[in-house]
């Protein structure tokens, strides 16, 4: 299982939100690339980033911060989500040097775009499914659709998507443990690589998620809060 330490970017700074609420922001550093440097030193094999402004507004406002993260990450690949809703924005994001782009809102609102993106860019494209009470949420989690997360995952699998980042909104940023049952359900429902996101508070949470069969886990707030030693966790799941 791959551990993905996370860098969430808002207004050019590294921040964390609680349950995706934009009015509950904890600002960590105005230089997000310094976190990438720390993660590389800890032995990270991937770095996960989110453009929170892009996720909410659909516009790439943090391109410079993303480019700096990619540069500082060096040989460690970076994946990013947030605000990629058409081919132009996808191509501009890939041009920043990221290895994989996560399509979120557009997977619900414009599935044809996902099909086109996967046909053209293959494994450089992933889909992010953010669930609230089992239903897919969009626009930076501020809107909830009527599509069940598992059904959306199956649709994306049919389109050729190989990687899905599955986030349980209720647990995200709360440090109260992940929704293990939901992650296990998703892992069993599709053959895609599932990257679990939300709620990880300690090393035991990561080990519990590994048992569900997910291919990866995203860890954010637990690292910043000092609850997890990233190097130790990476070694424990390899």
What's the CA gap between 23 and 5, in Å, rounded? Answer: 23
Q: Which two tokens mark 4?
A: 């993905």
57 is catalytic: no
- Pick the catalytic residue from 8, 51, 168, 172: 8
8 is catalytic: yes
- Pick the catalytic residue from 51, 53, 130, 168: 130
Catalytic residues, by residue number, are: 8, 130
């Amino acid at each position: 299982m791959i551990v993905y330490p996370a860098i969430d970017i808002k207004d050019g700074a590294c921040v964390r939100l609680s349950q995706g609420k934009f009015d509950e922001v904890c600002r960590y550093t105005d230089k997000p690339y310094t976190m990438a440097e720390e993660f590389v030193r800890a032995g990270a094999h991937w770095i996960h980033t989110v453009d929170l402004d892009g996720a909410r507004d659909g516009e790439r406002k943090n391109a410079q911060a993303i480019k700096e993260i990619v540069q500082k990450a060096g040989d460690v690949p970076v994946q990013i989500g947030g605000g990629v809703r058409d081919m132009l924005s996808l191509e501009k994001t890939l041009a920043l040097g990221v290895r994989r782009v996560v399509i979120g809102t557009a997977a619900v609102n414009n599935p044809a775009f996902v099909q086109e993106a996967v046909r053209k860019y293959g494994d450089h494209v992933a889909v992010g499914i953010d669930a609230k009470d089992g239903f897919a949420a969009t626009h930076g989690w501020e809107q909830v659709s009527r599509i069940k997360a598992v059904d959306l995952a199956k649709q994306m699998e049919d389109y050729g998507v190989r990687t899905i980042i599955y986030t349980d909104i209720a647990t995200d940023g709360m440090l109260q443990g992940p929704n293990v049952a939901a992650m296990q359900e998703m892992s069993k429902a599709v053959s895609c690589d599932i990257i679990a996101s939300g709620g990880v508070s300690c090393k035991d949470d990561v080990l519990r998620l590994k048992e569900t069969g997910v291919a990866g886990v995203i860890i954010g707030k637990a690292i910043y809060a000092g609850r997890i030693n990233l190097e130790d966790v990476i070694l424990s799941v390899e």
